[in-house]
Structure 1
Amino acid sequence: MDLTTPSLEALFEQLGLESSDEAIENFIREHQLPDNVKLGDAPFWSAGQSQLLKEKWHSDDEWAPIIDELNADLHADCMPKT
């Protein structure tokens, strides 16, 4: 059983990525996605990372809001500016 408290930092750790605040900010800035590319289908994920994101999101468990947050962050350039 996974007892990790869901957070963006913990998600990055599970994806095998650097999880410091600076590293997460850099990743998000450098990996913006077009509106028509789904998070789990992004070309920069490995097959395992993509599968992890899809499974956690589709299971709609406590990780879903964190994955939604990452999805919004990676599509920020597509969002209308207010």
Structure 2
Amino acid sequence: MEPAHHTINDLFDQLGLPSSDSDIAAFIEKHQRMPHQIKIEQADFFSDSQQAFIKQAYHEDADWVVVIEHLDALLREKAS
């Protein structure tokens, strides 16, 4: 069985967030300086259920992890 390939748009849909390219760009711009010591599943801009989904994906090594890690990298690009 071939693993699912999720896009960042799919992830935003799954998290219940606006998922157009412009919405995602605005989200990243708004939250881009996430400190490195904060795990993505602890980010205060995610709701409890969004944090739980991300944490569960890591725990289960789900196919969502690749795109979650991509979002994590985008959110840290300009962190100091």
Interval of TM-score (by shorter of Structure 1 and Structure 2): 0.7 to 0.9
Q: Residue 26 of structure 1 corresponds to which residue in structure 2? A: 26
Q: Residue 57 of structure 2 corresponds to which residue in structure 1? A: 56
Percent of aligned pairs with the same residue? 37
User: Unmatched 5+ residue regions in structure 2?
Assistant: none
Task: Tell me, yes or no, if structure 1 residue 38 matches structure 2 residue 39.
Answer: yes
Structure 1 residue 39 displacement after superposition: 0.4
Structure scoring higher RCO (CA < 8 A, sep ≥ 6) equals: 2
What SS is found at the alignment partner of 1:78?
coil
- Using the alignment, how far apart are the partners of 1:52 and 1:63 within structure 2? 10
Moved over 4 A (4+): none
What SS is found at the alignment partner of 1:30?
helix
CA RMSD of the aligned region, Å?
1.5
What SS is found at the alignment partner of 1:17?
coil
Structure 1 residue 5 displacement after superposition: 4.6
| Cα displacement string for residues 7-35 of structure 1 (whole angstroms, at most 9, x for unaligned residues) | 11011001110000000011011012011
Q: Compute the TM-score of the two structures, normalised by the length of structure 2.
A: 0.86
User: Unmatched 5+ residue regions in structure 1?
Assistant: none
What is the count of residue pairs matched by the alignment?
A: 76
Amino acid at match of 2:35: P
What SS is found at the alignment partner of 1:19?
coil
